[in-house]
Each structure stands twice: as structure tokens, then as C-alpha cells.
Amino acid sequence: MATRCPSSYKKYEIRRRDPDPKFSVLLVVDAQNYFSSMVKPILPNLLQTIDLCRRASIPVFFTRHRHKSPADYGMLGEWWNNDLIIDGTVESQLVPEIKRLVLGKDHEVVEKNTYSAFTNTRLHERLLEMGVEEVIVTGVMTNLCCETTARDAFVRGFRVFFSTDATATSDLELHEATLKNLAYGFAYMVDCQRLENGLFRN
């Protein structure tokens, strides 16, 4: 069952900062049909976040989790009893509302086969090529792919902003535990309102 996510960053905020549009990208993690029950409750916030970033000329990267064969399952195969997202299936595709946004040169799709969007992909190199210093993380699941990507981005030297209302997972306690952990050591907390105020404050 999908969780109803907190709508404000304020409960978790320890350090305050706004993203710099000149050096930021938005990561929309795994908004796929496989996770539709989690994506649906946050879809309005996710779409609003994408719109805010596009208006601020922040490039958007979409990730798509998929496996081509058991050779790329890794530990995920053992952990999830081989119940994984297989490439080419309906479940592997982005949800329709997100899929229609994947167009233009400011949008890219990163295909991955583990929790972090940086592992076995060229995302790190691509961001360096673009001069990116900051990433804004949204999508699903809060405590798995979103959290791992955020932590990975931090240790690779990127400043991380993590959305509290455009991320979701299967359980509210897991969602909140991730927000508390990331706010403590890895990421600045934001939500739609905070992003709007920060990106368009002038």
C-alpha cells in the first residue's frame, strides 16, 4: 500500500539552503508503472516539481529501473526473490503522465539495474560534463532508490536536495526514517512550496 507523504520539509530540516538553478539538475527516480500505487499519491507534487524546475531552466533526468536478464540481477535477485522489473514489460515503462514529459534536450532517461542511479550508468560523468554541482531528488521508493541515489550523490561530491512531498514508499515510517537520516547527514529538505520560494524568490 502506498503511503501518504508529509507535505512539509519543516519537521526534518536541520540545515537550510536553496538550490542554485545554474548548477542543479532534477532527478525523477523510477516513476514507473511497477510502482504506480506509490507514484499516484505524489503525482501532483511530482508534476509540480518538474514544472518548477523546467521554469527555472533546471535540466530533468528520469531514471528507469529495469533488468535485461538474470546476469544483471545482482543482490536484488536474492533480496526480492527474483520479483524484479523486466525490461520491455508494461511495468518497466514510466507512468503515462511522466512519460509524456520525457522530451527535448533538457530531459534525459537513465536506465539502471540497482538502487543507485549512479551505479553502472554514466550519470556521474554526464553531470560533470554539464557542470552540475547539485541534485534534487524526487520519485520512488523513498527509502531504497531515492535514498541510495541521494547518499551516493553526496559521497561523490554533489550537494543534495531531497523532496519530502514528491517522494514516496510503501510505508510512512520508512519514508520518515529516510527523511530524518538524510536531513541529519546527507541532504537539504525541500517540498514544492519551498522549491518555488527558493527558485523564484527574486
Write out pLDDT tens, residues 64-117: 999 999 999 999 999 999 989 999 999 999 999 999 988 755 678 999 999 999
**Peptide bond before residue 38 is cis, with ω within 30 degrees of 0:** no
DSSP string, 61-80: EEEEE-BSSGGG-THHHHHT
Residue type, 188: Y
Average pLDDT, the chain: 92
Residue with cell string 535485461: 68
Closest to 63 measured CA to CA, from 99, 107, 89, 28? 28
Chain centroid, CA 173 distance in Å: 19
Is the pLDDT assigned to residue 143 strictly greater than 90? yes
Q: All 3 cell numbers of residue 57? A: 531552466
Task: Give the per-residue pLDDT at 107.
Answer: 76
pLDDT average, residue stretch 179-201: 94
| DSSP annotation of 92 | G
Is the pLDDT assigned to residue 45 strictly greater than 80? yes
Closest to 106 measured CA to CA, from 17, 192, 21, 19? 21
- Phi then psi for 16, rounded to 5 degrees? -115, 135
Q: All 3 cell numbers of residue 174? A: 520508512
Domain 20-200 is found in CATH 3.30.342.10: no
In degrees to the nearest 10, what's the CA dihedral of 41, 68, 156, 187? 10
- Domains of the chain: which residue ranges? 20-200
- The 10 Å Cβ neighbour count of residue 170 is 17
- Phi then psi for 20, rounded to 5 degrees? -100, 110
pLDDT average, residue stretch 148-160: 98
